[in-house]
Amino acid sequence: MSTLITYALCTVGDVKAYMGQDDATSRDEALITECINGVTNEFETYCDRKFLSRQYVHDGTTLPLLPGNGTDKLILPQRPVTAITTLIPWPSGPSLTRGWLGQYMLDQQAGIITLATATYLRQSYRARTRRSSLVFPEGDEIVAVTYTAGFLTNATAGSSDSTTYGYAERAGDLRFAAIKQAAEFVHRRSRSREGVVSKTLPTGESYSFIKTEMLPEVKAVLDRYAGVFIG
């Protein structure tokens, strides 16, 4: 029987309830699971991001260090960012602190770190020069950062966590879009397996990629999650 991937955007129960199939058989549930996995993968591919909350460790071992661009801004690969554990802008440097009295600020929704304006030392590979602000040195694999990003699994429940994260409404429309698209895939798949490609992740988890067009209303939701907006 198919297994739901760890970061699936909805559950088998969600899709069964939406389709009015509470009495679905094991075979039906396997099909629904496969479609949910395919929808999750397609959504993340379309938006070029991961959605559900997890930790990212860019320490040069777990994940590559991030590149610096010579400015005071760094765009993290995933968002919304809910916590930053460490931020080391240059090799062998100290970890910076966040906040108005700290050394950087964070735009959680966009996942953008802005270094504080003050007199710091800018470190490059060749020399240190005094600047009016702290910047991320230019180069590939420079910045070490450990952070948590993504939406809560049950972001519509109104729990203290979802309130703290502040993204319940946006995660709710994403979840419903996943349910609706998965139900559409189930409907199509119940008639044919054409266009389905199964793949296995490095973690051993498998998913199905469904080569078919998304519903227009679902695409409209995903377009709100794609891209980074500064401001």
Q: Residue 188: inside a domain, yes or no? A: yes
Does one domain contain both 202 and 218?
yes
- Contacts of residue 2, Cβ cutoff 8 Å, sequence gap at least 6: 30, 31, 33, 34, 37, 206
Does one domain contain both 98 and 143?
yes
Q: Residue 88: inside a domain, yes or no? A: yes
Q: With bands split at pLDDT 50, 70 and 90, how would you rate the model's confidence at 156?
A: very low
Tell me how far apart the alpha carbons of residues 55 and 63 are, in angstroms, rounded to a whole number.
11
Q: Residue 179: inside a domain, yes or no? A: yes
At 131, list the tokens.
């600047």
Ranges 62-76, 108-122, 149-163, 206-220: which has the least confidence: 149-163
Which of 125, 149, 173 is at the close of a domain? 149
Q: With bands split at pLDDT 50, 70 and 90, how would you rate the model's confidence at 137?
A: very high
pLDDT at 123 over 90: no
Does one domain contain both 93 and 120?
yes
Q: Residue 2: inside a domain, yes or no? A: no
pLDDT at 126 over 50: no
Please give the residue range of the domain that contains residue 193.
Answer: 12-51+154-223
Q: Residue 103: inside a domain, yes or no? A: yes
Q: Is 120 helix (H, G, I), strand (E, B) or coil?
A: strand
Does one domain contain both 179 and 193?
yes
pLDDT at 147 over 90: yes
At 51, list the tokens.
């959605």
Does one domain contain both 139 and 64?
yes
Does one domain contain both 135 and 159?
no
Amino acid at 119: T
Q: Residue for token digits 């970890």?
A: 95
Helix axes 168-189 and 216-223, enclosed angle (nearest 10):
150
Does one domain contain both 101 and 164?
no
Which of 104, 123, 149 is at the close of a domain? 149
Total domains present in the chain:
2
Does one domain contain both 159 and 84?
no
pLDDT at position 101: 63
Which of 149, 174, 197 is at the close of a domain? 149
Does one domain contain both 113 and 36?
no
Strand 73-75 relative to strand 196-200: parallel, antiparallel, unpaired?
unpaired
Q: Residue 230: inside a domain, yes or no? A: no
Ranges 111-115, 158-162, 170-174, 227-231: which has the least confidence: 158-162
pLDDT at 136 over 60: yes
Does one domain contain both 43 and 98?
no
Give the H or E element holding residue 145.
strand 139-149
Does one domain contain both 136 and 184?
no
At 139, list the tokens.
């180069």
Does one domain contain both 140 and 66?
yes
Tell me how far apart the alpha carbons of residues 11 and 9 are, in angstroms, rounded to a whole number.
7
Q: Residue 21: inside a domain, yes or no? A: yes
- Contacts of residue 58, Cβ cutoff 8 Å, sequence gap at least 6: 64, 65, 66, 143, 144, 145, 146
- Contacts of residue 94, Cβ cutoff 8 Å, sequence gap at least 6: 88
Q: Residue 5: inside a domain, yes or no? A: no
